[in-house]
Amino acid sequence: SIIGLPAASSRYTEARLTPIASELMSELKFNTVDMRDTYDGERKEPVVLPSRFPNLLVNGTQGIAVGMATNIPPHNLGEVVKACLHLIDNPEATVAQLMKYVKGPDFPLGGRIVTDRRDLRTVYETGRGSIKVRAEWEPDKLQTGRVKNNIVITSIPYGVETGPLMVDLGTVAETKKLPQLLSAIDESSEELGMRIVLELKSADDAETVMAYLYKHTSLELNFNFNATCLVPDEHDNLKPAQVNLQELLSHFLKFRLKTITRRLEYLLAQLLKRIHILEGFEIIFNGLDKALKIIRSSQGKADAAKRLMEVFPIDEIQVDAILDMALYRISELEIDRIMQELEEKRAEAKRIQALLASEKKLWGIVSDELRELGDKYGNKRRTAIGSSEEISEFDPQAYIVKENTNVVITKDGWIKRVGRIQSIEKMRIREGDEVLNVLPASTLDAIVFFSDDGAAYTLPVDQIPASTGYGEPLGKYVKMSDGAKIIAGMTTDPRFTPADNPPDGDSPEPYLLIATAAGQVMSISFSSFRQASTKLGRKYCRLAKEDRVVFVDLITDQQTMFLATSGARVIHFELSEVPLLAGPGRGVRGIKLEKDDEVIGAILLARPGDTLHVINDNGNKLAFGQAKYGVTSRAGKGVKTSQRTGFKEIVRPEIQLVDWSE
């Protein structure tokens, strides 16, 4: 049932055929299809029903077999009949031309198809694809009272049961996931039809509420169209094939032509049998007195039959019918009736023979009978066809309360959202971990996390857990490679990261500067990382084997950069030497490394006083100014700063906290 109740036991279940069901079986008696033994061999059953309409398309079907499956939705009978008639008149018609009549599936529960018309045509041209179906709704016309905020769902997608649907709607209302939705009540009845009433806070919320429910409930579903059918080959052997709309209708029309031909051949055979008997009567009537004399003088039925066949040009079938004829049939009136029947049967046989001799006339019968069925059983389309652009789409930001916040990232990859931060030192983190960065943002923005394996993960701020504790590991929200570590994070908040195309033209467009342990450097546009990513993230750098990213930052107004290596070498060069890549790549050499040396980090320099700070192997903090280590060309060996100790790590710039109380 539509409310989701399980079916009763078969012994309690009865079914009554609809009138159109008779059109599937009405021609069985005319030997229109082949018969085969039933499973026990005691009876015969048809190999296929001689359907007078394309039931496979009109009624739809679903099935799974070994290595194949089919899922064809129901369609409107009137539309399908019109398409068949067009195909009969235009055998070379394309799918696009046929779709002037068959506009799409027609589901019994209504709904609205919002798949783009071009995509819908592709589905019918290939016999496979996805069709998106949505529920329909309208303002509640039956609502009384001063406040009229209710809306009514008047149709739902094919296959959706109202029982589970109401549970989902109730859950959304109770958990306050959608604050605008107060309650949902199923008032459906035979009199009112489908009627699911949604009580809203405000009538202005209707579009927003439905967009959310389409996204998170079964009020919107994708129907997987798969027109895999068994079709006859050149030897009439059935083979599975995926067919388009034109092929499916063509196969039906060929089948229909064949069944009509067999029906007419059967009727002609029956007519000829009757004509043969009536012609025997005609012969006897012409010599009735002589025939009666022979019968009266015979020694029985067998003797009479033998003597009649010796005297008259009749056979056993005719003589048996003559001898079985009642005496009253030889009256003058009955003889006239029999002769009239013979004349009518001969005329009918001649008409059928003329039909069988002309394929054009046979196609005319196919057309006439299809047109008759369309007029008799055709009805108005239930499922509306509308482009998805005509309907509001789900906008997740419509349900997010905008507020300023801070996103904390630790070196071990833990993240959390905190409103106000007094100091980094007082922040609660796991033992042995330390804060990597604190990024200011609003809940409508996103944070981009960069891992050292060249992958970036963009996560909406509202999805980052708000916590005064340790937070959650980033791996709970994204799928990072084994051993990968987060090395940087950036906010998409335009207050802190310039927009891609700033309207004032003063702020430079942001680019990422990337450096790897193998000494490669490159830059890439930040714009492609602003939108939320999948759990697998996006590539921002392609690494050679055993290489890893050690530095990622935004280029805004910086002019030069320092690279530092574990072998205590530094190199200072201009950013103009770093190529801007169109997409993820391997970049160019920033520094020429000696054996067993690697880049440990980098720093961007904007002002003459900016300095590179490193910690050497002895734990001492060292500073390298721009005056002593001037700008050189990229790809050199750099300057060896120490012969005895190497560099352990670069000192990161101090984290600047934003005071949201101002």
Strand 384-385 to 112-113 pairing: parallel
Catalytic choice (12, 101, 124, 214):
12
The pTM score is: 0.64
Domains along the sequence of the chain with CATH: 136-218 (3.30.1360.40), 253-377 (1.10.268.10), 400-650 (2.120.10.90)
Type and span of the H or E element at 170? helix 162-174
Please determine, for residue 656, whether its predicted confidence score (pLDDT) is greater than 90: no
Instruction: Give the amino acid at 166.
Output: M
Q: State pLDDT tens for residues 70-101.
A: 999 999 999 999 999 999 999 999 999 999 99
Give the pLDDT of residue 393: 56
296 pLDDT higher than 60? yes
Give residue 610's pLDDT.
84
Least confident of 260-264, 296-300, 330-334, 581-585: 330-334
Is residue 10 very low, low, confident or very high in pLDDT (cuts 50, 70, 90)? confident
Rounded to an integer, what distance in angstroms lies between the CA atom of residue 630 and that of residue 387? Answer: 62
Residue range 147-175: average pLDDT?
Answer: 88
Q: What is the DSSP string of 259-316?
A: HHHHHHHHHHHHHHHHHHHHHHHHHHHHTHHHHHHHHHTSSSHHHHHHHHHHHSS--H
Residue 459 confidence (pLDDT):
94
Q: Are 579 and 587 in contact (CB under 8 A)?
A: yes
| Region 409-420 average pLDDT | 92
Compute how many other C-beta atoms are within 10 angstroms of the C-beta atom of residue 379: 9
CA distance 152 to 186: 10
pLDDT digits (tens, 9 = 90+) for 450-493: 999 999 999 999 889 888 889 999 999 999 999 999 999 999 99
Q: What is the model's pLDDT at position 359? A: 94
Which letter does DSSP use for residue 36 in this model? E
Rounded Cα gap, residues 12 and 8, in angstroms: 6
pLDDT given at position 61? 93
Would you give the end-to-end CA distance of the chain in angstroms? 60
Asked if pLDDT for residue 502 goes beyond 80, the answer is: no
pLDDT of res. 395: 60
Residue type, 454: G
Could you give the percent of the chain with pLDDT greater than 90?
65
* Helical packing angle, 206-216 and 162-174, nearest 10°: 120
Name the residue type at position 649: E
> Does 116 have pLDDT greater than 80?
yes
User: What distance in Å separates the CA atoms of residue 415 and residue 433, rounded to the nearest whole number?
Assistant: 12
pLDDT confidence tier of residue 389, bands split at 50, 70 and 90: very low
Question: Catalytic: 12?
Answer: yes
Both tokens assigned to 209: 């509420």
375 vs 332 pLDDT, higher one: 375
Span 210-233, pLDDT tens digits: 888 998 899 999 999 999 999 988
Q: What is the pLDDT of residue 16?
A: 86
Residue 547 identity (one-letter amino acid): D
Task: Using pLDDT thresholds of 50, 70 and 90, give the confidence band for residue 396.
Answer: low
> pLDDT: is 360 or 505 the higher one?
360
C-alpha span between 133 and 191 (Å, rounded) = 25
Rounded mean pLDDT of the chain? Answer: 90
pLDDT for 144? 61
pLDDT value of position 388: 46
Host H or E run for residue 208: helix 206-216
Q: pLDDT-derived band of residue 184, with 50, 70 and 90 as boundaries?
A: very high
pLDDT higher than 50, residue 134: yes
Least trusted range by pLDDT, from 218-222, 502-506, 631-635: 502-506
Residues near 413 by beta carbon (within 8 Å), at least 6 away in sequence: 473, 474, 475, 480, 485, 486
Strand, coil or helix: what is 229?
strand
Share of the chain above pLDDT 70, in %: 95
Which band of pLDDT confidence, cut at 50, 70 and 90, is reported for residue 5?
Answer: confident
Average pLDDT value for residue range 590-604: 93
Which of 46, 15, 43, 17 lies closest to 30 in space, CA to CA?
Answer: 46
Residue 107 has pLDDT above 70, yes or no: yes
For residue 98, give the nearest of 242, 250, 227, 219 by alpha carbon: 250
Distance CA 51, CA 176 (A): 52
Q: Give the mean model confidence (pLDDT) for residues 495-506.
A: 69
Mean pLDDT of 550-574: 90
Q: Quote the crossing angle between the two packed helices 316-323 and 301-311, to the nearest 10°.
A: 130
> Strand, coil or helix: what is 24?
helix
